[in-house]
Amino acid sequence: MSNKIFKSIFTIASVVLLITASSCDPSKKYAEDEKSAISSYLLDNSSLKFELKPSGLYFLEVAAGTGLQAEVHDTAYVIYKGMFLSGTSFDTNVGKDTLIFPVNEGWMIPGFDESITYMKVGGKAHVLIPSNLAYGPTGYYMIGGYTPLLYDIELARLVKTAAK
């Protein structure tokens, strides 16, 4: 009889554990951790007056450009430095060839592409890109999921798309 009681208790405990585990969504914790990290960064750097765009991108114009305005399909020539919120650099082309890509055609992460559309040639910007506009919940190589990114961007040159 005690064996039946043990099996019943074990079965009930297993069901409770399974229901509890399936109801927990660890991604919610990561998303909350990201929001907290962004809030802390903004608080710690309150002198930086980022403009929050409707997409969730934080854009700060460091130097206004005086050249052409970037538009979708133009070819952008960009100098950039990518960093984590800690300030640690993960990628840069400073001192190297410019990064060349068509604006807002999906070649870059969405937040980077969007940033270029707010710039004119000669302009410099500091942007904070939440993970939903970067590498999302899965990440990319050394960039973990739910990782917000910082970029210093300079739009060095722009080739306008020929009118069709």
Given a cut of 90, whether residue 120 has pLDDT beyond it is yes
Give 22-70 as a DSSP string: HH--HHHHHHHHHHHHHHHHHHHTTTS-PEEPTTS-EEEEEE---SPBP
Cα–Cα distance for residue pair 134/145, rounded to 1 Å: 9
Given a cut of 80, whether residue 117 has pLDDT beyond it is yes
Q: What angle do CA 161, 103, 63 make, to 5 degrees?
A: 105
- Kindly state the average pLDDT of the residues 120-149: 95
The pLDDT, as a whole number, for residue 97 is: 94
Q: What share of the chain is helix, strand, coil (3-state, %, to 5)?
A: 30, 30, 40
Question: Was domain 26-159 assigned CATH 3.90.650.10?
Answer: no
- Over residues 19-78, the pLDDT tens digits come to 554 456 666 888 898 999 999 999 999 999 999 999 999 999 999 999 999 999 999 999
Q: State the chain's mean pLDDT as an integer.
A: 88
The pLDDT, as a whole number, for residue 22 is: 47
User: 14 pLDDT band (50/70/90 cuts)?
Assistant: low
DSSP state of 111: H
Burial label, 125 (beta-carbon count in 10 A; 0-12, 13-18, 19+):
buried
Cα–Cα distance for residue pair 138/163, rounded to 1 Å: 38
In the chain, domain spans: 26-159
